[in-house]
Amino acid sequence: MKKSLAEIAQYLGGTVSGDPGTQIGGLATLDDAGEGQLTFLANPKYAAKVATTKASAVLLPAGGNAHGHNAIFHPNPYLAFAKLLTLFYTAPAVPLGVLPGAFVADGVKMGEGVTIYPGACVAPGVTIGDRVTLYPGVVLYPGVTVGNDVTIRANVSVRERCRIGDRVIIHDGTVIGSDGFGYAPDGESWYKIPQIGIVVIEDDVEIGSNTVIDRAALEVTRIGKGTKIDNLVQIGHNCIIGENCMIVSQVGISGSTKVGNHVTMGGQVGVAGHIKIGDNAMVAAKSGVHNSIDAGQIMSGIPAIPHREWLRVSGLVPKLPEFRKTVNSLEKRIAELEKMVAALTGSAPAEGEE
């Protein structure tokens, strides 16, 4: 597929500089692009590479320097490039139906354009919407509901009665609705608390590989619409995750935590249970969150504190050995001065001093 620069600019809502008839047949990086390809600049520190790229056109932020190249100017080149990747390289899936080797129980309700690969298992009472693809090893437990335009990749398990919204993508090995980690002390042993709630995944959520979202003890663990969850994330039972959140790899969120809308958590953040994180908050990688966070705050560190304060604290850490030497030296000087004062006044040293 080829498109002119003018067609691409119209599709993106950008403006053309140079020859609008230039034909583009693919996309590539600034370093690798060649004739007939379009590249992009999203980070200003790589602006010098625009001058040397061999691309036929460059996607630039408004006011960027095209260095004589054909260009499309757009307020968000990174987003625009992502949309072009979808346009050029993402073909609609061709529905294949229920393939030999897949198990679909009697009475399962299925929409149109469904593909179920060999090795997938769909239990009784499941409802599947239109244009759903289930890859090998997917298991939908009894009573699961799956919306329209959903892709569930290999070896994903969706446990009893959980609900998946529209346009959801779940990557390989993830488990939706595993039992929450709930046990009551019984002397020296632990009594398992039945986890009878469900998980609800709202529309336009994407969940990475080998992530686990626990079912609620009684009601609902909910992932809000538009939220993106990376690989290897653990979300505990009864958590409520808001809309359009970004949760990066190896985050662990303990049970009954409420996360607001558009919250960002960096890799390996640990969150204690039964707290609230406000809208638009950001938590830096490897932080330990033990208390609630107000809306709009940026937090870092273990335990997590406001980011500017953490920067000041962390700046002191490399200087601690020097500070220790200084303190030891001052202690010695103070002790010597106290001895001198005692000798001059005839008073005895304070208790504990020589």
Contact 42, 59 (CB under 8 A): no
307 classed as catalytic: no
Q: Which stretch of DSSP H or E encloses residue 103? A: strand 103-104
Catalytic hit among 69, 237, 290, 307: 237
Q: How far apart are the first and last CA of the chain?
A: 89
What's 30-57 look like in SS3? Answer: CCCCCCCEEEECCCHHHHHHHHCCCCCE
Contact 284, 302 (CB under 8 A): no
- Buried b or exposed e, range 205-227, using 16+ CB within 10 angstroms: bbbbbebbbbbbbeebbbbbbbb
Q: 169 burial class (0-12, 13-18, 19+ CB within 10 angstroms)? A: middle
Q: Is the bond preceding residue 303 a cis peptide, omega within 30 degrees?
A: yes
Helix/strand/coil for 247: strand
Annotate 159-208 with DSSP letters as a single string. Answer: -TT-EE-TT-EE-TT-EEEEPP--EEEETTEEEEPP---EEEE-TT-EE-
Contact 282, 259 (CB under 8 A): no
Contact 194, 176 (CB under 8 A): no
Q: Which residues are catalytically annotated? A: 237
